[in-house]
Amino acid sequence: MKRIALGFGWLGLAWVGLGLVLPLISDSASAATPAEIAKTEYEEVMALTPDLQNGRKVYITCAVCHRPEGWGTPEGTYPQIAGQLRSVIIKQLADIRARNRDNPLMYPFSMPRILGGAQNIADVAAYVAQLPMNPQNGVGPGTDLELGAKVYKDNCVKCHGNQGQGDEPEHMPAIAGQHFNYLIRQFEAIRDGRRKNSDPKMVEQIKGFSPREEMAVLDYTSRLRPSADRLGPPNWRNPDFQGYVYPGSPGPALPPPPAPAPRP
Ligand code: HEC
Ligand code: HEC
């Protein structure tokens, strides 16, 4: 009984301490915008050396939605993240958790309590970046590809590259082989100003597009092939996650997951 009372005494003190310190913290935090907070974290993470083994453990959470392969879902609800450039993955994770990019579904899983700190971001980003990509991603109808190729060449090459391969130092996303419906969703969110972390120059570049031009260029983009050494075989399954039960398959019960990743 006495020990419990003592415990509460300490707790009381801790609360008083927190009450004194919190206003100071929130004051200084409110000075930085979500974009600034994300940028600081991006730079911190980029300076770290990634540990792939730990990245695999951290990825257990992500696999639930992005699938063990990181291939997402071809109908585009979940993007393919496998093979995305490391700097882009890090930027998106930092942006999402600083609320510089809205992602209500994923937001809780990006928080330090679940995802961990800068080192875990570095590790999981490196793990995802080295995963082979889906050779059978969701594509468009394929009916207007000549126009798509022209629109792509005139408007996208200078930033996303002639093969949609992106740019690592500039954290410019690779968009080749992404699911068609996901491309549409992001393109329209960027155009309409709903994606906070979008590039103002890209918004400028695409604002005059007709619906036909938009569909054509995104269909073309979904069919751009990542280089052969980046693609996995069709229906590849990630051997790191052998116990994963795929939706619709009458698999065995999940084995206990590996020990959780340490949280710095
Ligand atoms: C509850 C489901 C869920 C979980 C868990 C989840 N994500 Fe996501 N993630 C999403 C959805 C949905 C999107 C796309 C949101 C949108 O449309 O803007 C996304 C987007 C992303 C993107 C941006 C992709 C792009 O090209 O724009 C990255 C990178 C990403 N997730 C990485 C991760 C990592 C790494 C983890 C694990 C730490 C994770 N996600 C966990 C649902 C999830
Ligand atoms: C001036 C440079 C620029 C141009 C031109 C540009 N983009 Fe982008 N785009 C970006 C940047 C930068 C991002 C990522 C912003 C961020 O999240 O940091 C992006 C993001 C995207 C995304 C979302 C990718 C993802 O994984 O979430 C798509 C899709 C996209 N661009 C398609 C296009 C297409 C198609 C064109 C041509 C019609 C185009 N962009 C032209 C710079 C550009």
Asked whether 92 lines ligand 1 (CB < 6 A), one says yes
The pLDDT score that the predictor gives to residue 243 is 80
Q: Are 61 and 111 in contact (CB under 8 A)?
A: no
Q: Are 218 and 186 in contact (CB under 8 A)?
A: no
Asked whether 155 lines ligand 2 (CB < 6 A), one says yes
The pLDDT score that the predictor gives to residue 8 is 46
The closest alpha carbon to 240, from 79, 68, 62, 3, belongs to 68
Give per-residue pLDDT as tens, 103-124: 999 999 999 999 999 999 999 9
In the CATH scheme, what architecture does the domain 34-235 have?
Answer: Orthogonal Bundle (1.10)
The pLDDT score that the predictor gives to residue 259 is 72
The closest alpha carbon to 110, from 95, 85, 123, 93, belongs to 93
Q: Which residue has the tokens 């949609």?
A: 164
Confidence of residue 246 (pLDDT cuts 50, 70, 90): confident
Give per-residue pLDDT as tens, 177-230: 999 999 999 999 999 999 999 999 999 999 999 999 999 999 999 999 999 999
Ligand nearest to the CA of 160: 2
Q: Say which residues have a Cβ less than 8 Å from residue 215's Cβ, sequence separation at least 6.
A: 140, 144, 184
Ligand nearest to the CA of 180: 2
DSSP 8-state code for residue 172? B
Q: Are 216 and 151 in contact (CB under 8 A)?
A: yes
Compute the mean pLDDT over every residue in the chain, rounded to the nearest whole number: 89
Ligand nearest to the CA of 171: 2
Among protein residues, the one whose CA lies closest to atom 41 of ligand 2:
156
Distance in angstroms (rounded) separating the CA atoms of residues 95 and 33: 11
Confidence of residue 2 (pLDDT cuts 50, 70, 90): very low
Largest CA distance in the chain: 80
Confidence of residue 25 (pLDDT cuts 50, 70, 90): low
Pocket test of ligand 2: the residue of 175, 181, 185 to mutate, having most ligand atoms within 8 Å of its CB, is 175
The pLDDT score that the predictor gives to residue 31 is 77
Tokens standing for residue 198 = 């979008």
Task: State the Cα angle at 262 between 104 and 126, rounded to 5°.
Answer: 65
Q: Are 261 and 57 in contact (CB under 8 A)?
A: yes
Pocket test of ligand 1: the residue of 45, 54, 66, 195 to mutate, having most ligand atoms within 8 Å of its CB, is 66
DSSP 8-state code for residue 100? S
The pLDDT score that the predictor gives to residue 19 is 44
Mean pLDDT of 247-254: 60
Sketch the domain layout of the chain as residue ranges: 34-235
Asked whether 11 lines ligand 1 (CB < 6 A), one says no
Asked whether 81 lines ligand 1 (CB < 6 A), one says yes
Give per-residue pLDDT as tens, 80-105: 999 999 999 999 999 999 999 999 99
pLDDT over 70 percentage in the chain: 84
Tokens standing for residue 72 = 């997402």
Q: Determine the straight-line distance between the first and last CA of the chain, rounded to whole angstroms.
A: 34
Confidence of residue 23 (pLDDT cuts 50, 70, 90): very low
Q: Are 233 and 135 in contact (CB under 8 A)?
A: yes
Pocket test of ligand 2: the residue of 199, 212, 217, 223 to mutate, having most ligand atoms within 8 Å of its CB, is 199
Asked whether 205 lines ligand 2 (CB < 6 A), one says yes
Which has more pLDDT, 23 or 158? 158
Confidence of residue 4 (pLDDT cuts 50, 70, 90): very low
Query: Is residue 14 predicted with pLDDT exceeding 70?
Result: no
